[in-house]
Amino acid sequence: MRTSWQTRAARHPRATEAAGLLLLFAVTATGSWLTALISAKPLPLWPVLVLSATACLALPLRRRYPLRVLALVAVLTMAEGTAGYLLSPMIMGPLLTALYALGLRAERTTSRNAALAVTTALVLTTSFLDPQRHQHPVMLGIVNPAAWVLLSTLLGSNVAVRRAYAAERVRQEEQAREDEARRRVVQERMRIARELHDVVAHHLALANAQAGTAVHLYHSHPAQSYEMLTALSETTAAALRELKATVGVLRQDTGPETEDDRAPAPGLDRLPDLTASCATAGVDVTVTVAGDPRPLSPGTDLTAFRIVQEALTNVTKHARTGRADVRLTYVPHALTLTITNDTPSSAPVTPVTPAARGFGLIGMRERAQSVGGTLTAGPLPGGGFRVTCTLPLHPTG
């Protein structure tokens, strides 16, 4: 959280910059005065103040021209050294600021080479051009300036690395949020696609079977053909109602809620209606329950119903049978669904092309996995087909 002075500084960057440069010049001037005060020989103060002021006036350009500003400030600092002044951190303030700015903005190789060049220049200046070099200890006259130069450069490079790391983390977090949002959109689209597939495929398969049977019985049994057409009308009406309820979920944020939108999601309690609709298409479905029935969560209940619905839809569309068995087996922590068709039928069946196979088994498997369950499906050795699904009573995820 920003303090009040930080907020004011951010609002007035030029005034803040000017105040910082004045403070830096004051520190440099103070260091020059102290050096002249303790020097064995009298040193003129005004040339150093002019050099320090010139160096401070060049610093505002360090963001646009870091290398040029550093070169200028380094020459001015070397001139101070040739005047007999001990290059203390206070006198070297503008140079250290320029080195820090270079390490903050330039590449590490550039800042490292520049720091080595400045260090070499200062060491040569204090070793050969300083008129009072014999009075300055080696630690203060040579090692100290070189250490401060390297320290300022490393500090700028370290801050640059930390800023780059923070910016990369922010970018990665934004990318992760975008990926998560995209993943959720894809999951929602897949969920809606499964719902629409289950609703449309089931009812259209029944309608197709009923229409085919009605055409087949039209000349020989007109009364039964009429009954089939009546059932076909009910099937299409049920398809429209369920399709409207499913699509209504997409309009919850854009329109008023209706009675159809508030209709509960289908569950295993609608198995009698499902078996009755299959019977109108010529498929006799037997439902058996083993174990002690337990309440299911809404998601698991919907998943179980849709899997049974899709399996019976496949029986209606593809299987050469007039019978299917649905078995619900309850165990302490899971529900197992077994849908089997193994009774041959004399009714003609339209061959299924690869393009007409659709995504029934894929959708069932995805539904089972979405609540932590498993699903296997395959043909039986003696003919027929079996779908086995195990759903946990307390789904995960």
Say if residue 39's pLDDT is above 90. no
* Contact yes or no for 395/372 (Cβ under 8 A): yes
pLDDT-derived band at 141, boundaries 50, 70, 90: confident
* Span 51-80, average pLDDT: 93
> What is the per-residue pLDDT for 388?
95
The three state secondary structure string of 100-135 is HHHHHHCCHHHHHHHHHHHHHHHHHHHHHHCCCCCC
Q: State the average pLDDT for the chain.
A: 81
Look at residues 97, 19, 83 and name the one whose alpha carbon lies nearest to residue 51.
83
* Span 119-133, average pLDDT: 85
> What is the per-residue pLDDT for 132?
77
* Span 201-226, average pLDDT: 72
* Span 45-74, average pLDDT: 93
* Span 292-311, average pLDDT: 87
Would you give the end-to-end CA distance of the chain in angstroms? 37
Global confidence as pTM? 0.53
At residue 390, what are phi and psi to the nearest 5 degrees? -120, 120
* Contact yes or no for 130/84 (Cβ under 8 A): yes
Higher pLDDT, 21 or 264: 21
Query: What is the distance, to the nearest Å, from the Cα of residue 395 to the centroid of all Cα atoms in its chain?
Result: 25
pLDDT-derived band at 254, boundaries 50, 70, 90: very low
> What is the per-residue pLDDT for 356?
41
pLDDT-derived band at 290, boundaries 50, 70, 90: very high
> What is the per-residue pLDDT for 239?
67
pLDDT-derived band at 350, boundaries 50, 70, 90: very low
Say if residue 320's pLDDT is above 80. no
